[in-house]
């Protein structure tokens, strides 16, 4: 897997997580810890994207 394809996959995952966070925040029954976990995953992916983009 090339770095470019890996970055594309990470960006796709990041976008999916963004949508999941948005949906979870709109659902009144969603646990705050679940939302926080999704946001942490999203941040880790964003950091990985940034790290790979600068190398």
Prediction pTM value: 0.88
* CA of residue 42 relative to chain centroid, distance: 3
For residue 28, give its domain range: 3-54
Could you tell me the pLDDT band of residue 55, with boundaries at 50, 70 and 90? confident
Predicted pLDDT of residue 18: 98
Which tokens is 28 given?
């009144």
Predicted pLDDT of residue 1: 74
pLDDT at 22 over 80: yes
41-46-48 Cα angle (round to 5): 95
Structurally, the chain folds into a number of domains equal to 1
Predicted pLDDT of residue 31: 93
Q: Tokens 């190398």 correspond to what residue? A: 55
Q: Tokens 């009144």 correspond to what residue? A: 28
Question: Which residue stretches of the chain are H helix?
Answer: 3-26, 32-54
């Amino acid at each position: 897997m090339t770095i470019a394809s890996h970055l594309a996959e990470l960006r796709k995952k990041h976008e999916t997580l963004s949508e999941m966070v948005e949906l979870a925040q709109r659902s009144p029954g969603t646990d705050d810890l679940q939302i926080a976990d999704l946001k942490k995953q999203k941040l880790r992916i964003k950091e990985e994207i940034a790290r790979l983009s600068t190398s």
